[in-house]
Amino acid sequence: MNWLDIVLSSLQSGVGSLASYLAAHVILCLIPAFLIAGALAALFPKEAVTRYLGRDANKWISYPAAALGGFVLAVCSCTIMPLFASIYKKGAGLGPAITFLFVGPAINIMAISFTGVQIGMDIAIARLILSLIFGILIGILMAWIFRKEESDRNDELKKTNAFAQTAKVEPRTWIMFGLLLALLLAGTLPIDALRANLVAFSLPGGWAQNFQTALDAFLPASLTTGFEGLTVHGVFLIGMILLIVITSILGLRHIDEKINGWSIAALAVMSLTLVMAALNVTTNADGLLVAISGKWIGVLAVIAALWYFSKTNYQVEEIQEWLWEVWRFETQIIPLLVVGVFVAGVVRVFIPAAWVQAIAGSNTILANFIGVLFGVFMYFPTLVEVPIAQTFLSLGMHRGPLLAYLLSDPELSIQSILITNSVIGKKKTYTYVGLVALFSTLAGLMFGIFVDTIL
């Protein structure tokens, strides 16, 4: 194979991975996740979380609150550091602050839902549970190791009232959050009640089969590379994603100033895209077979409830703030996702599967530690690390070392270590890095044993 063939093959792999990713994974997972993240950032008072993180707070409250703070505040690996620095400098105890730092990127709603859809619910659930357990343990150990320094610091902080004591979450916020979470689950939860087709109808047209044949020839599915192929329905959904991008630029970029017609159009296109993505569409010789499932009914019902509840329970200014946060998350994450997935597809061509299998194909202590080291030197923002992880999984990496990488990537990247050092100092940072490496390796090893013996 000459260099031209290699370049063309790698580009085809990159385009194929990106197209498959956008059509098959991103819509029912990521759009609801953006809406949830924006709502939590705009409508959920941060003081309601940080008030429970002080050193003198009840440990049965402060550590669970810190562990769940990343989920509530919708943090990712690119925003966890400034939030960690903020709550620590405002008076959070070292232990709860460290727990928040470790757990936050791993359990935010986008990371968990995307991990489950792209890699598997076993990894997503393990990432959630082990992050919570080990994050709390690391925080407790850090607080105990540096108890003298923290005691002196706490005496200084008692001179000021660092946390608001009256902040609370309104019932309407919990209802909104519940509806948004229901939208995510209706579209992604793998249960028979949602998957089962209730009614089907045909859209005649020989063009569909010809188009599908062309797609299969240009972007063929491949078990070797993990590329799932592209369908006629997928091409239509990619077109809808482009419409979302266009209407969001025109309607959400300045949503903090006013709501215009394009703002409504952006929401309408998002809603329509979710409804269309929930359909089961297959191509046959006669045209397109469209099936309506419980998933489609659930997504449609929740979207209708969200439109009604938002209009009747929130002021225009609150909706503007929510949509502005949605826009902010979109602009921060979508470009990174697109580039990350494309690069993962290109790189996949150049990585020998035998090499991956040799160093991380089995569940050993060394293999899990290598997964941790990969997280140190090859940092990827939250969600981008998921397609990267899927690439290594398709090349033969064991699921144990894969989890070790997913846990360590946001915490132990070089830039994260440097920022942590600037906040808590060298001694605490080195101790934290050692504990994260130890517990991430242990988490991967435990999960790998579970996979080998149970699943």
Digit-coded pLDDT (tens) for 105-122: 777 666 777 777 778 788
d(C-alpha 63, C-alpha 290), whole Å: 48
d(C-alpha 231, C-alpha 356), whole Å: 30
pTM tops 0.75 = no
Taking a C-beta distance cutoff of 8 angstroms, is the pair 452, 363 a contact?
Answer: yes
d(C-alpha 105, C-alpha 87), whole Å: 16
- Please give the share of the chain, as a percent, with pLDDT higher than 70: 78
Binning pLDDT at 50, 70 and 90, where does residue 328 land?
confident
Total number of residues shown for the chain: 455
d(C-alpha 326, C-alpha 61), whole Å: 30
Q: How far is CA 85 from the centre of its chain?
A: 22
> Which is more confidently placed, 440 or 218?
440
Residue 198's SS3 state is strand
Phi first, then psi: what are they for 265, rounded to 5°? -60, -40
> Quick one: 418 exposed, middle or buried, by C-beta within 10 A (0-12, 13-18, 19+)?
exposed
Average pLDDT value for residue range 391-398? 78
Asked if pLDDT for residue 408 goes beyond 70, the answer is yes
- Considering only the C-alpha atoms of the chain, give the largest distance between any 2 of them, rounded to a whole number of Å: 77
Taking a C-beta distance cutoff of 8 angstroms, is the pair 324, 41 a contact?
Answer: no
How many other CB atoms are there within 10 angstroms of residue 377's CB atom?
9
Looking at residue 390, its pLDDT comes to: 75
Binning pLDDT at 50, 70 and 90, where does residue 382 land?
low
Asked if pLDDT for residue 313 goes beyond 90, the answer is yes
Q: How far is CA 189 from the centre of its chain?
A: 16
Binning pLDDT at 50, 70 and 90, where does residue 135 land?
confident
Residue 97's SS3 state is helix
Give the residue from 142, 225, 232 showing the smallest Cα distance to 420: 142
Looking at residue 302, its pLDDT comes to: 95
Asked if pLDDT for residue 290 goes beyond 80, the answer is yes
Looking at residue 319, its pLDDT comes to: 92
Looking at residue 95, its pLDDT comes to: 87
d(C-alpha 187, C-alpha 299), whole Å: 6
Looking at residue 190, its pLDDT comes to: 67
d(C-alpha 430, C-alpha 420), whole Å: 10
d(C-alpha 187, C-alpha 281), whole Å: 15
Taking a C-beta distance cutoff of 8 angstroms, is the pair 361, 367 a contact?
Answer: yes
Q: Are strands 197-204 and 280-284 parallel, antiparallel or unpaired?
A: unpaired
Give the residue from 26, 268, 332, 313 showing the smallest Cα distance to 177: 313
> Which is more confidently placed, 320 or 375?
320
d(C-alpha 15, C-alpha 20), whole Å: 8
Average pLDDT value for residue range 37-66? 71
Asked if pLDDT for residue 154 goes beyond 90, the answer is no
